[in-house]
Amino acid sequence: SDEMEGRIQEIKRKLGDELFIPGHHYQRDEVIQFADVTGDSLQLAQVAAANKKAKHIVFCGVHFMAETADMLTDDDQTVYLPDMRAGCSMADMANIYQTEEAWGTLQQIFGDTMIPLTYVNSTASIKAFTGRNGGACVTSSNAKLMVEWALAQKPRLFFLPDQHLGRNTAYDLGIPLEQMAIWNPIKGQLEFEGNVEDVKVILWKGHCSVHEGFTVYNVHEVRKNYPHMKIIVHPECSREVVALSDDSGSTKYICDMIENAPAGSSWAIGTEMNLVKRLIAKYPDKHIISLNENMCPCLTMNRIDLPHLLWALEMIENEEKGNVIQIDADTTKEALLSLERMLAHA
């Protein structure tokens, strides 16, 4: 692997500003060491949009992030994903056919009273659906702002595909759980007990299997074993877990909180393992553990490893095509409406 690292450095030096490597916080250390910037999904979307120099953007993250980068960059810039199998299981929980079906059925119930809000963890075609129906994208770091924005446009919110981020955000803004319904995409049905007139938020029944792995039991164990420990989690965790934690926020928010915490403070973190391990190594003066020590990494994030990164760079060096992520012009045009509505507020 020393040899692979040497080759990667060599290609990076050779390509200079023509090459740009954004890396999400959940990437492996072996990959993150070569990232030109690291960040959460919002930051990475913003830096991709701002970069006008790089001809080649090798995105170290998952598929939806590379799609977003492609749509936000110019036509003469090419985005690559080192392993095409690096998807996101949550994004896969909503496809465009299910989404159109849901929208049609919900319009029969709620008429023109809804606005769609789509978590960036979704396909480009769902972002396009959102754009053409007047809605916007959100990330975990601007969800509150965007839900407020959306509810200033229409009385009801259709939030997809992560029920937890939607529920946690709406709850924090004072919307009671009794006013939140679930859209079940498998059954094609609205799940709600009560009068549908009272529904304020419709949550797509999707989730992140990594973050659902943090449980109320884990919180109780930490409280019992480490009474002074602070618990901070990602808002993709369930409402119950977020409610029992001390704080929640995006991966950037979590990094900032730990960085600014006093030496000697202790933290249990409920997010992906690669990031938690990196924070443990980076701050030996703080006591940091995972909220669930038995967690697996995000398997799709982990698919980007040293050999895949090197392969992607060698394809560029040899002027071969590689794993290019390219969204068609029509989808891009509509999806950009939803992304730009978000970026204007973020």
- Minimum separation from the CB atom of position 155 to ligand 13P (A): 28
- Minimum separation from the CB atom of position 112 to ligand 13P (A): 31
- Minimum separation from the CB atom of position 141 to ligand 13P (A): 6
What dihedral angle (degrees, nearest 10) is formed by the CA atoms of 285, 287, 290, 291? -150
Report the amino acid identity of residue 130.
Answer: T
Report d(CA 96, CA 99) in Å as an integer: 5
Phi, psi of 268 (to 5 degrees): -110, 125
Which listed option, ligand SF4, ligand 13P, none, makes contact with residue 250 (CB within 5 to 8 Å by class)?
ligand 13P
Q: Which of 250, 302, 323, 331 binds ligand 13P (CB under 6 A)?
A: 250
Report d(CA 169, CA 309) in Å as an integer: 35
Neighbours of 311 (CB within 10 A): 14
Residue 70 binding ligand 13P, by CB under 6 A = no
Which listed option, ligand SF4, ligand 13P, none, makes contact with residue 140 (CB within 5 to 8 Å by class)?
ligand 13P
Tokens of 298: 């995000």
The site that binds ligand 13P (CB under 6 A) totals a number of residues, namely 11
What dihedral angle (degrees, nearest 10) is formed by the CA atoms of 79, 165, 261, 275? -40
- Minimum separation from the CB atom of position 249 to ligand 13P (A): 8
Residue 77 binding ligand 13P, by CB under 6 A = no
Q: Which of 67, 236, 245, 274 binds ligand 13P (CB under 6 A)?
A: 236
Phi, psi of 110 (to 5 degrees): -110, 0
The site map against ligand 13P for 123-162 (x = CB under 6 A) is: ----------------xx----------------------
- 3-state secondary structure labels for all residues of 2-61: HHHHHHHHHHHHHHHHHEECEEECCCCHHHHCCCCEEECHHHHHHHHHHCCCCCEEECEC
The SS3 call for residue 275 is helix
Applying CB under 6 A, the residues found at the interface with ligand SF4 are: 62, 88-90, 121, 208, 210, 236, 272, 298, 300-301
| 120 known member of a binding site | yes
Positions touching ligand 13P (CB under 6 A) are 25, 40-41, 121, 139-140, 208, 234, 236, 250-251
> Binding site membership for [4Fe-4S] cluster: which residues?
88, 208, 298
> Binding site membership for iminosuccinate: which residues?
24, 41, 119-121, 140, 234-236, 251
